[in-house]
Chains A and B, each alone.
Chain A
Amino acid sequence: MKSLLYALALSTALTVPAMARPVTLTTNMNSYGGDGAYLALYVTDAQGAYQGSLWLAGGKSKYYTHLSDWYRATQGNPAEINGITGASVGAGRQLKITLDLADSLFDAGYELHIDASVEDMRDSPSEVVVPLTTQGMGQPVPGRRYIRDFTYDM
């Protein structure tokens, strides 16, 4: 029994780091002078086809239509964001997300998108689009409207 446990622990230790990559996604907001921003962080393949969501900041689903690229891909399906929703992000604030991502997402042509939306202000779909590469880690990417910069890092 003990040897079985050792074997299990060893195999877990050997296999998990090869599959998992603990990643921190940091989004710094501009001081745009409005209410808290709703943000959708999601992944597409190189052709732009939606693969899945990583995080949705903003608690009320009736506003998700304003995250227009994300909404077009998902129809706002709650199953897409179950367990990965949080509060909206105020102007000048920072959203830091930590998650274990599949290793296969990096250097394989996948792109991370961020759609942003602020009440009574213009929607900003795909405000950030950044290829997921090991080289791009730690490199801040500027946003267009509400996001000052976005960085993914280990």
Chain B
Amino acid sequence: MKKYLIAATFVTGLAGLGTMGMALADDDDCRVPMADWQPRDAVQNMAEAQGWTVRRIKTDDGCYEIKGRDAQGREIEVKIDPGTLAIVEMEYDDDDDDDDDRGGRDRNQTPTGTGQPPANGLFVPGSKPGAVVQ
């Protein structure tokens, strides 16, 4: 019985470690072999095509990371897949440096009435939506 209990504890412990490992794995990392990376110029061109102003391009967690401003002038930090140049993560940056805190409600206030809405057929072309949190 004692042997059985020890074995059961061991197996449970291993399973627990496995779960923990999965929980710790970050889903916003990129895993692209260096040979498949597109050059920095391609990232710059992709960013400019989006209307972004690039301040800095660096690598982080295996991804390209662009810091700059979007077409509306907001601070952005965008992670890009180095192989496909797809957007992995996009943050509208503010003075909140804690990546895991999604509080910061008032600090990442978007300027209202300045952005063009997407052409999804819902908005009247040329209109500028605005929002206020009270």
Interface residues of A, Cβ cutoff 8 Å to B: 16, 19-20, 35-36, 38, 43, 51-55, 57-63, 78-90, 93-102, 105, 119
Question: Nearest-CB distance from B131 to chain A (Å)?
Answer: 4
Tell whether, in the assembled complex, residue B132 and residue A96 are in contact, meaning their CB atoms are under 8 Å apart: yes
Given A62-B91, A80-B120, A105-B122, are A38 and B131 neighbors across the interface (CB < 8 Å)?
Answer: no
Task: Give the contact-size bracket for chain B.
Answer: 35 or more
Interface residues of B in 95-134 (CB under 8 A from A): 101-110, 112, 115-118, 120-124, 127, 129-134
Q: Chain B residues in contact with chain A, CB under 8 A?
A: 28, 71-72, 87, 89-92, 94, 101-110, 112, 115-118, 120-124, 127, 129-134
Whether the Cβ atoms of A20 and B115 lie closer than 8 Å is no
Q: Are A36 and B131 in contact (CB under 8 A)?
A: no
How many pairs of residues, A versus B, come closer than 8 Å at their CB atoms? Answer: 129
Beyond A36-B103, A86-B131, A99-B127, 11 extra complex contacts between A and B, CB < 8 Å: A51-B121, A59-B92, A78-B90, A81-B118, A84-B115, A85-B92, A85-B110, A86-B110, A90-B133, A95-B133, A102-B123
